[in-house]
Structure 1
């Protein structure tokens, strides 16, 4: 999927910080923005993957855990020293487990809340002064359709993503006076190498998530939507974008073809 670009020459003066950059949608977003001429700071925990991505794309790799205050402070200092950024793209997140609430694993819930909610809050809080000072700053949060409708076995992920969705809406209200653009992109079923595997911990179980779905979204599909949203002229705010494969009319309505 390729969406039309907007004023690619202007991208030469644009700088984005992208979290979750070592895999999946985060990695694809780094590639999409770098290809469009953006300067990109690629942020994730796995330094080896980031170094390879930086070599391939020209992005600046920065290994950090966004749930750790010291890592966030070090990232902010590095970006500041390099001239700052006008766009923060929060993609780091994820799901663990598919248990019912009656069988909920406290460690899974704790991890999901820390990464999806507290991590997003910490890095956003740190970069807000820089984005305000820029005068035309943008924050884009990648949530999920799990933030819009609950489903059985999704309680922990629903709770984390509903919270991230609410935080995004609050941020938009709080920062509009600073001309800060706040965007939410909520993908449905996206096929990536790690999301379902990390959630379920088993390759066979992960494969069943996508079984029979002819064309799930890809990481590149979502990255193209993210790039489009942040590349529009700054006065245009796409408050909320829900993006699903055609086969998925709702979280509970997914067409699978017989194999």
Structure 2
């Protein structure tokens, strides 16, 4: 039986790469994002069947759940949607930015999970397994100056994932967390820095081979395609140049002589 996944954040970056990756290995995919024009282009390119929704709006989440109910079974939720705004110190933080990050990263994860869990359960009523998979960040694991708002939001999402795994114990539903470090995508850092292209490019300047969206998508596809009894609880992945959140090599990587 062909398995079907909902992939959020599908209009760009990691989410878009996941849609490509899953389609290439035979999954049916419903890409979800706010930008309907980008979703239409994605559908034309890879044969996905997308649905435009803002996952911070409950009415849109409900509409997504109704769409899934009307169009077929659901075997996996891949929640990529989220993001960061600003690099302010705690004392200078903009409450609007912090509120948006909590809504985009934590509340959206809760809303879409609650809405789609019944559909995941229905698809496995006669056997098999289902998946919930969440893309968090190494920012959920290690604080850094100027990152407190994003640290807090991603840590909140990570705790949601860990609690969900405990709550679903005894059901054949896997709960996986993928926590990437530095990933170069077209929009994440640009949006975080308010559209400042030069500042965004500076973040990656001189870094040998930061992760790409495709790198993360490959790991996600592996997790979803693993045998049903195998759960990758947490995968932390970084480029070799980033040994820790605070330790980043710039320049070519060379063997020591």
Q: TM-score range by the shorter chain?
A: over 0.9
- SS in structure 2 at match of 1:17: strand
Q: Tell me what 1:171 maps to.
A: 164
Moved more, 131-140 or 220-229: 131-140
Aligned to 1:215: 209
Cα distance in 2 for partners of 1:133, 1:76 equals: 13
Alignment of 1:118-157 (within 5 A): 118-135=107-124, 136-157=129-150
1:72 equivalenced with 2:61 (yes/no) = yes
* Number of equivalences: 247
Which residue, out of 230, 237, 246, partners 1:252? 246
Displacement of 1:189 after TM fit?
0.2
Q: Do the aligned residues in 1 keep the contact of 2:62 with 2:115 (CA within 8 Å)? A: yes
Residue number among 88, 93, 105 corresponding to 2:82 in the alignment:
93
Unmatched tracts of structure 2, length 5 or more: 253-257
Distance in 2 separating the partners of 1:226 and 1:93? 17
TM-score where L is the length of structure 1: 0.94
Residue 132 of structure 1, CA deviation: 2.1
| 1:233 CA displacement | 1.1
- What is the aligned partner in structure 2 of residue 6 from structure 1? none
Tell me the distance in 1 between the aligned counterparts of 2:55 and 2:137: 19
- Equivalent residue, structure 2, for 1:8: none
In the aligned structure 2, how far is the partner of 1:211 from the partner of 1:28? 23
Give the whole-Å Cα distance in 2 for the aligned partners of 1:160 and 1:55. Answer: 34
Superposition TM-score, scaled by structure 2 size: 0.94
- The whole-number CA distance in structure 1 between the counterparts of 2:121 and 2:69 is 13
Structure 2 CA distance, aligned partners of 1:117 and 1:84?
25
Root-mean-square deviation (CA), in Å? 0.9
Paired with 1:140 and 1:155, the residues of 2 have a C-alpha distance of 24
C-alpha distance in 2, partners of 1:227/1:160?
25
Alignment correspondent of 2:100: 111
Aligned partner of 1:225 among 212, 219, 222: 219
Distance 1:111 1:84 in 2: 32
**Structure 1 residues without counterparts, runs of 5 or longer:** 1-11
Say yes or no: does 1:206 pair with 2:170: no
Residue 146 of structure 1 deviates from its aligned partner by: 0.2
Q: Distance in 2 between matches of 1:130 and 1:193?
A: 33
User: Contact conserved, 2:73 with 2:122, CA < 8 A, in 1?
Assistant: no
Alpha-carbon distance in 2 for matches of 1:84, 1:77: 12
Q: 2:236 aligns with which of 242, 251, 255?
A: 242
- Note the C-alpha offset of 1:133: 2.6
Alignment-derived partner of residue 7 in structure 1: none
Deviations 1:18-70 (A, max 9, x none): 00000000000000001111000000000000000001110001100011111
**Is the Cα contact below 8 Å between 2:181 and 2:236 reproduced in 1?**
yes
